[in-house]
Chains A and B, each alone.
Chain A
Amino acid sequence: RKEVEQDPGPFNVPEGATVAFNCTYSNSASQSFFWYRQDCRKEPKLLMSVYSSGNEDGRFTAQLNRASQYISLLIRDSKLSDSATYLCVVNTTSGTYKYIFGTGTRLKVLA
Chain B
Amino acid sequence: GAVVSQHPSRVICKSGTSVKIECRSLDFQATTMFWYRQFPKKSLMLMATSNEGSKATYEQGVEKDKFLINHASLTLSTLTVTSAHPEDSSFYICSARDLGTSGSDEQFFGPGTRLTVL
Cβ-defined contact, A99 with B107, below 8 A: yes
The B interface is mostly helix, strand or loop, or mixed, namely: strand
Interface window among A13-21, A57-65, A73-81, A101-109: A101-109
Nearest residue in B to A43 (C-beta to C-beta)? B109
CB-nearest residue of chain A to B45: A101
Question: In the complex, how many residue pairs between chain A and chain B have their CB atoms under 8 Å apart?
Answer: 46
Interface readout for B65-103 with A: 1 if CB under 8 Å, 0 if not? 000000000000000000000000001010101000000
Nearest residue, chain B, Cβ from A102: B43
Total residues of chain A contacting the partner, CB 8 A: 21
A34 at interface by CB-CB < 8 Å: yes
**Assembly CA distance A101 to B107 (angstroms):** 12
Task: Given A96-B49, A97-B32, A103-B43, decide whether A43 and B105 contact each other with a Cβ distance below 8 A.
Answer: no
Residues of the B chain whose Cβ atoms lie less than 8 Å from the Cβ of A46: 1, 106
Of chain A, the residue at the smallest CB distance from B51 is A96
Q: Assuming the A-B contacts A32-B105, A49-B106, A96-B49, are A43 and B43 also in contact, with contact meaning beta carbons closer than 8 angstroms in the complex?
A: no
Residues of chain B within 8 A of A97, CB atoms compared:
32, 49, 97, 105
- CA of A98 to CA of B107, assembled, Å: 10
How many Å from the CB of B9 to the closest CB on chain A?
10
In the complex, A41 Cα to B41 Cα: how many Å?
Answer: 10
Partner of B106, one of A34, A98, A100: A34
A1-58 at interface with B (beta carbon < 8 Å): 31-32, 34, 41-46, 49
Inter-chain contacts of B44 with A (CB < 8 A) = 44, 87, 101
A42 to B32, CA, bound (A): 22
Please give, as numbers and ranges, the residues of chain B lying within 8 Å of A98 by CB-CB distance.
Answer: 34, 46, 49
Q: Which of B38-57 contact A (CB under 8 A)?
A: 42-46, 49, 57
Q: Which residues of B contact A72 (CB under 8 A)?
A: none
A binding-site residues for B, Cβ under 8 Å: 31-32, 34, 41-46, 49, 87, 91, 96-104
